[in-house]
């Protein structure tokens, strides 16, 4: 009897850990970017937020995991369950303690979506993770723009519709068209450059970027990263108006406002002139009524105030003081009259006294005044013999010389 054993070199005996590590080193670097399709089973959402499931087909299965930071984005708008057929993207990792391998998923979608849709979803997730869709970066659309920039094809129906609608709604608005290709090779670059050029120009209030409807291939220029970043970097508010209402593009998510169609963008970017005028008239009427009502109420308040006791009290005081002034004036007039009469009487009495001692009057009654050297002589002793003197009479002056003294008789 013969025993056959394989020839094994004991010099290369490995531990389990070493073998697993060698496999890990070989497998992981070569499976960092793989796409898998299969059916979900054992789908579980852990309390940590991580998602675990098995991806299987008819003949094999592989464990899969979606870490929380990806799950928050990937699973926001779609709920998966056991039995769903999906397409996933990720990388292979080997868990050494159990020698298991699994795929770490960074993208998942229901199976059946084409290659362009996959590219769309991947770019969407990338830009969302960078914050390009965040509401905090959205700029307000001016309520009354005076100049609007339009980035679209000069020959498409979209530009004709926008011109017609804007001109009808608000004719005073100025439109500036930047003609670009909206599909095919080089279209994304032209669209991005148009946005940058409008920003350099700086004299438009808002930019509309868009085109009419079409297939996902026709609209693909608006799903390119170069266009998305040009929109995000624009200092001028941008309205994205791509395709029909059901179409969504990356531009829609980055733009400050999404319009479902170019025609809708024209409706959104300007107000209807008639509505504006009616609104102004309503505002004027409201202000006018408020002013009229205010005047009426103020007039009533003034009339009430004028009739009030408090308001009329000062008038009563004024009338009373006016009467008092009249009384004092009359009393002053009487007092002044009596005072002047008394002064007049005293003056007349003093006048009579003065007249009684007036030498001129005495002269008229036959008296005379003797002067010597301009002084009145009161006594004969003031005159010596041969002194010259003057005698003043009522009708003139007589000069004389003292010749002697006589006796009074």
E-strand spans in 32-120?
34-45, 51-56, 61-66, 85-95, 100-110
- Model's pTM, two decimal places? 0.49
What whole-number distance in Å separates Cα of residue 46 and Cα of residue 155? 54
pLDDT, tens digit only, all 409 positions of the chain: 445 445 455 667 888 888 888 888 888 888 999 999 899 999 999 999 999 999 998 889 999 999 999 998 888 777 788 888 888 999 999 888 888 899 999 998 887 656 677 788 889 999 999 999 999 999 999 999 999 999 999 998 899 999 999 999 999 899 999 999 999 999 999 999 999 999 999 999 999 999 998 877 889 999 999 999 999 999 999 999 998 887 789 999 999 999 999 999 999 999 887 777 778 888 888 898 888 888 888 888 887 777 776 666 676 777 787 888 888 888 888 888 888 888 888 888 887 777 666 676 667 676 788 877 878 877 877 777 887 788 877 788 888 887 887 765 5
- Dihedral of alpha carbons 44, 47, 49, 50, sign: negative
CA geometry: angle 318, 321, 327, nearest 5 deg = 145
Long-range contacts: 358-361, Cβ < 8 Å, 24+? 360/394
Helices (H), 61-172: 68-74, 115-130, 157-169
> Measuring CA to CA, which residue among 167, 235, 169 is closest to residue 207?
235
| Nearest-angstrom CA–CA distance, 146 and 205 | 7
Mind listing the domains of the chain with CATH numbers? 13-113 (2.40.50.140), 142-271 (3.40.50.960), 361-401 (no CATH)
| Radius of gyration for the chain, computed over Cα atoms and rounded to the nearest angstrom | 61
> Which two structure tokens, joined as six digits, stand for 224?
């390119």
Distance CA 277, CA 282 (A): 9
Q: Which residue has the tokens 């002034």?
A: 325
């Amino acid at each position: 009897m013969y025993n056959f054993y394989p020839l094994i070199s004991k010099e290369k005996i490995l531990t389990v850990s070493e073998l697993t590590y060698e496999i890990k080193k070989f497998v992981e670097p070569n499976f960092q970017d793989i796409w898998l399709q299969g059916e979900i089973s054992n789908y579980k959402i852990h309390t940590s937020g991580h998602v675990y499931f098995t991806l299987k087909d008819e003949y094999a299965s592989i464990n899969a995991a979606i870490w929380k930071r990806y799950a928050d984005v990937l699973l926001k708008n779609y709920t998966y369950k056991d039995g769903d057929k999906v397409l996933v993207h990720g990388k292979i990792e080997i868990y050494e303690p159990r020698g298991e391998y699994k795929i770490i998923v960074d993208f998942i979608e229901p199976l059946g979506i084409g290659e362009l849709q996959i590219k769309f979803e991947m770019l969407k997730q990338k830009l969302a993770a960078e914050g390009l869709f965040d509401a905090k970066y959205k700029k307000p659309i001016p309520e009354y723009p005076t100049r609007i920039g339009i980035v679209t094809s000069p020959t498409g129906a979209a530009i004709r519709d926008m011109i017609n609608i804007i001109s009808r709604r608000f004719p005073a608005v100025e439109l500036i068209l930047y003609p670009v290709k909206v599909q095919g090779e080089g279209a994304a670059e032209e669209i991005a450059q148009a946005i940058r050029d409008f920003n350099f120009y700086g004299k438009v209030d808002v930019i509309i970027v868009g085109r009419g409807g079409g297939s996902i291939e026709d609209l693909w220029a608006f799903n390119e990263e170069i266009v998305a970043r040009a929109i995000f970097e624009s200092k001028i508010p941008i309205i994205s108006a791509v395709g029909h209402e059901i179409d969504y593009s990356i531009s829609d998510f980055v733009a400050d406002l999404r319009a479902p169609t170019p025609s809708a963008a024209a409706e959104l970017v300007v107000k209807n002139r008639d509505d504006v005028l009616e609104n102004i008239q309503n505002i004027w009427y409201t202000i006018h009524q408020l002013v009229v009502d205010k005047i009426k109420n103020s007039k009533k308040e003034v009339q009430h105030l004028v009739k009030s006791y408090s308001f009329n009290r000062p008038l009563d005081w004024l009338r009373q003081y006016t009467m008092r002034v009249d009384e004092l004036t009359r009393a002053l007039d009487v007092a002044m009259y009596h005072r002047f009469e008394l002064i007049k009487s005293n003056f007349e009495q003093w006048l009579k006294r003065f007249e009684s001692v007036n030498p001129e009057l005495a002269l008229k009654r036959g008296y005379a005044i003797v002067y010597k050297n301009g002084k009145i002589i009161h006594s004969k002793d003031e005159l010596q013999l041969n002194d010259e003197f003057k005698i003043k009479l009522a009708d003139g002056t007589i000069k004389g010389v003292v010749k002697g003294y006589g006796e009074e008789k």
